[in-house]
Each structure stands twice: as structure tokens, then as C-alpha cells.
Amino acid sequence: MGTDLHAPLGRDREARLRRSRRVSIGVIFGVLVGAGLLGFSFYAMQPDPALQKTEIATRTDTPSQTPADRAPASDSQGKATIARSGPSGGANIQRTQTNNGQVVTTYSPRQRDGDGPLIVDGRRVGQDPRMAATPNDDLIEDTPAGRLPIVGPDGLRPMEQYARPWSGARGTRIAIVVGGLGLSQTGTQKAIRTLPAEITLAFAATGNSLQRWVQEARRNGHEILVQLPMEPFDYPSNNPGATTLVTQANVKENIANLHEAMGKITNYTGVMNYLGGRFLADAGALEPVLRDIAGRGLLFLDDGSSSQSLTEKIAKPLQLPHAFADLTLDGQLDKVEILKKLDELERIAQRKGFAIGSASAFDESVDAIQQWVREVSNRGIEIVGVSAVVNDPAHP
């Protein structure tokens, strides 16, 4: 029955013994490997002793419970619905600051009232690129001036929702803002389609077809600002437009013009001045405007053109995220000169850790920035959206 009658006796027994030895060795080897992996996993899950030694401050945040955290819920007809929670709605959050300045965040479950399923609406800084052109309805209010940004019910700010994500590393960062988009169709189109996605684009509130251009810019990965016309020192001979914020207007009029500018587009992280030397130097006129911007969860970028600006003095008490541009890159409209300014911006960033440059959407500026960004990526510089370098009092 399948046996070789001519084979020497005992030969098949030796073969079986060899096979048995091979199987035994394989089993032993597998057990040893499994034990090693189990030991490594146990070691990896242990707290880092170095981290424990450097721990200098610990704060535990327990988010307050909102109706969205409770279950079960019901609609207006009394039908049961599924409760939803924000990104931290079901967790205790513990933040630990170490000696080297890093913050380690630990999440652990917390008790929830009621029974039934809970859907966690997980959000992060920056939109999913596939939805970048679509506004978050939780961060919008409908007004006579248009759809204006607001802070969400869970505290999410438009500045966070529409920010361009970045690495979070503590290396050298540079933000470049190119403004004046929407004023020229060809210039706007070239800037959106030519500039790297890391460049922040500022749209003039007086421009045309703004929402269409903004949607394309967001789909291409750009962070967005609104450029707000403000009164310069030589106003009205230099008039930025009919909706310019001026020092002689009352607060109601300036806020109405602010809202009209804000309502032109959506999906932006903040507001940037256009001109405004005189307005930025007048505390009585500037404070209500910055207060409104702060309350809507936006940032304010001062283009740095006025040494008399009171932006920082007023922004801090208002808890308004703010920043100043370090350089205007295209004061001379020449590609070679703009490249020199970009190199100077890099030196500033190397010195203080980050820098912000501003430019307009001229062909020379767009071409120079595109070339420079391609080169600087090999020098350990990270180009980020402007929201990544603002002074945010909520997260010092």
C-alpha cells in the first residue's frame, strides 16, 4: 500500500524522525519569537521613566457636559435619536508639560449619563482636503450681511477648522501671505494655480467672484484670509473703497462694513488689514472691530506697514489670536529683489524661530515665491499657513 518493498528496513523510520525533529524545532522557535514580541509589547506600554522625571506641571481638563453628551436624545416629535459628542466630549484630558517645553496629552474615558449609543464627531485642526471647499455649518450664522463665521457649540473656532495642517515640529517656520486676490481675474487665477499649497492667500473684500475663487483655492490646499480695507493716513485722496473702515464713522457703521466684508466668502481663518495706517492707530475705532473678530474665533494679521499700529496692545486683552508681518516682500516689483527679500525673511526666521512675509499677487511676486519655496524646502524650513505662527492667547 504505497510502501517500497526494495527500500532497506528502517529507512522510513529515520525519515519520520527527521521530520519530527524539524517540526519540534519550528514549534520551539515560534514560541520563543512570540514570547519576545509579548515582552516587547509589555515594555512599550510602560510609562517612560525619563518623561516621569521631567514632568513639571500637570493639568486635567474635564469637559463640561452639554446636552449633546447625554443619551438618549429625542427630536421635536419625541422620537429617539442618537446622541453625538464633540472630539473631547467623552474623555478626561490630561496635559503634562515637560522640562523641554513639550506637552504630552493623555485621554481617558469619563462617565457619561444615560444609556445607548454615542457617536463621537471627531474633529481636528484643518479640514479634510476632500471637504476643504465646503463650510462647516456649525461655524456659520446667517445674517443680513451674509453668512458670517462664529465659534461652534463645542468651542471649535473657524481659525482651527479652516487652518492648513502642519507638522507641529519646533523647527524654523515661515508663513507667506499673498494678498489682493479677486481684484484681477488673470492674476487671481495664476496665483491660485501656481503658488504652492503652503502659501496663505488673502482675498480683497472689494474683489469679484470671490466665493468661486475661494473654493478653488481651498481645494488646492491654501489657507484663506479676508483683506479688510481700512483708512490710511492720506485718506480720502487714497481711498481703498466704499466699505472702508474709517475713524470718523461710528462703531455701528464700521461693524456693518466689517460684516459686509466677512460675508463675501467663507472658509477663512482670519482677517488682514488692507492699508489702514490711521485706523490701526486709533484705539477707539480699532477696539470694537478687533473685539468682533475675536468673538468670532478668527485671527487678525497686521501687515506690519504702520509703526503706529495698536493691534498688539488691543488684541491681548481681547484674547484675539494675532500676528505681524515681518517683511513686505515686493516693495520693489522685481523678481531678483523679491528673492533677496525672501532670503532676508529666512534669516529672520532662523533668528527667532518663525517669520511672516507679505506680498501682492503680481506676476513677479508669484514667480519669485514659487521658485524660492521650492529651493528652501531643502534647507530644513517648513512653510506653514499663517494660523500656525500667530500669537494665540488661548494656547500660549
- pLDDT tens-digit series, residues 172-224: 999 999 999 999 999 999 999 999 999 999 999 999 999 999 999 999 999 99
On whether both 110 and 159 belong to a single domain, the answer is no
Q: How confident is the model at residue 134 (pLDDT cuts 50, 70, 90)?
A: confident
Say yes or no: 82 and 154 in one domain.
Answer: no
Considering the domain architecture, whether residues 220 and 105 belong to the same structural domain is answered as no
Instruction: Indicate whether 35 belongs to any domain.
Output: no
The answer to whether residues 91 and 231 belong to one domain is no
- Residue 116 and residue 201 share a domain: no
Please indicate, yes or no, whether residues 337 and 306 belong to a single structural domain of this protein: yes
Question: Which range marks the domain in which residue 227 is found?
Answer: 129-388
What are 368-392's pLDDT values in tens digits?
A: 999 999 999 888 899 999 999 999 9
Residue 44 lies in a domain: no
Check whether residue 236 and residue 110 sit in a common domain. Answer: no
Are residues 199 and 171 in contact, defined by beta-carbon separation less than 8 angstroms? no
Q: For residues 305 and 276, what is the distance between their CA atoms, to the nearest angstrom?
A: 9
pTM comes to: 0.70
Question: What dihedral do alpha carbons 132, 138, 140, 144 form, nearest 10°?
Answer: 140
Q: How confident is the model at residue 131 (pLDDT cuts 50, 70, 90)?
A: confident
Q: Are residues 151 and 91 both part of a single domain?
A: no
Residues 205 and 245 in one domain: yes
Which residue blocks in the chain are alpha helix, DSSP H? Answer: 11-44, 49-54, 158-161, 185-194, 210-219, 251-262, 277-280, 283-295, 311-315, 335-352, 363-376
SS3 state at 364: helix
176, β-bridge pairs: 357
Q: What share of the chain is helix, strand, coil (3-state, %, to 5)?
A: 35, 20, 40
The answer as to whether 234 is a domain residue is yes
β-strand pairing of 270-275 with 140-143: unpaired
